[in-house]
Each structure stands twice: as structure tokens, then as C-alpha cells.
Amino acid sequence: MAEQKNINTESDFENRTGLVVWLNSKRNVKRLMNFGVLHYVSSKMDYALLYVDAKDLDSTLGRLKKENYVKKVEVSLLRDLPSTYDDVLTEMQQEIDEKKRKKELETFSKGARFNEFEY
């Protein structure tokens, strides 16, 4: 008996890209399994989430767009989002401090200009 491979290992996730496939109808959803791992199918909005290999992304997109039951294919932008938020608060605090300093410098320079003309 052949061993089954676990498709949800960490190394596999690094090499996968998510696709949102908008469908004309859900009748041909099983055909999407030929392109990658079918993760979710929406019953109301007629779309499916599909995970494909990142190295085969371009060819898979082309093949999916040619299918007559597919309206549109979108690539997931999840890889572009930051996965750690450790330094977010310190960066925000630095930005706020910079804005305060600029505002203080502007008000100080405006005040100095008005004092020159009082004489």
C-alpha cells in the first residue's frame, strides 16, 4: 500500500501561492483539483480558493483563464503582507515623534518671523 503524503507540511506552504478563481457555475469545481489543492469553494459567491506551486504559477494562470467555466483568476497577495509585527509600535511612535518635531519647528520659525516685524 502506498504511503499518503501530507500536503500541509510547512515546506509545502513556502512553495505555494493562493489563487482566487471566480466561476460561472460550481458545476465544474472538481476540475479545479487538477490544477492544485482546492482549499475552499463558496456556495453563494461562486469562487474557489486554490493553492498551486509557485514555480508553475504562470502556466497554471494561463491554463485556468482558458477554461470556459472560469470568469476571472486573481493571485493572492498574502505573501506581500508582513508576518511579524514586532517593531510596528516603535516605528509608529518614531513617526509620531518626527511629526511633532516638524510641527514644533514650523511654529517656532513662524513665531520668529512675526517677532522680527514687531520692531
- 111 confidence band (pLDDT: 50, 70, 90): low
Quote the CA–CA distance of 51 and 58 in Å, as a whole number.
13
Residue 10 has pLDDT above 80, yes or no: no
CATH topology of domain 10-80: Alpha-Beta Plaits (3.30.70)
Residue 102 has pLDDT above 60, yes or no: yes
- 1 confidence band (pLDDT: 50, 70, 90): very low
Residue 31 has pLDDT above 80, yes or no: yes
In this prediction the pTM is 0.61
pLDDT higher for 6 or 59?
Answer: 59
Q: Residue 26, class by beta-carbon neighbours within 10 Å (0-12 exposed, 13-18 middle, 19+ buried)?
A: middle
Residue 77 has pLDDT above 80, yes or no: yes
Least confident of 10-14, 59-63, 89-93: 10-14
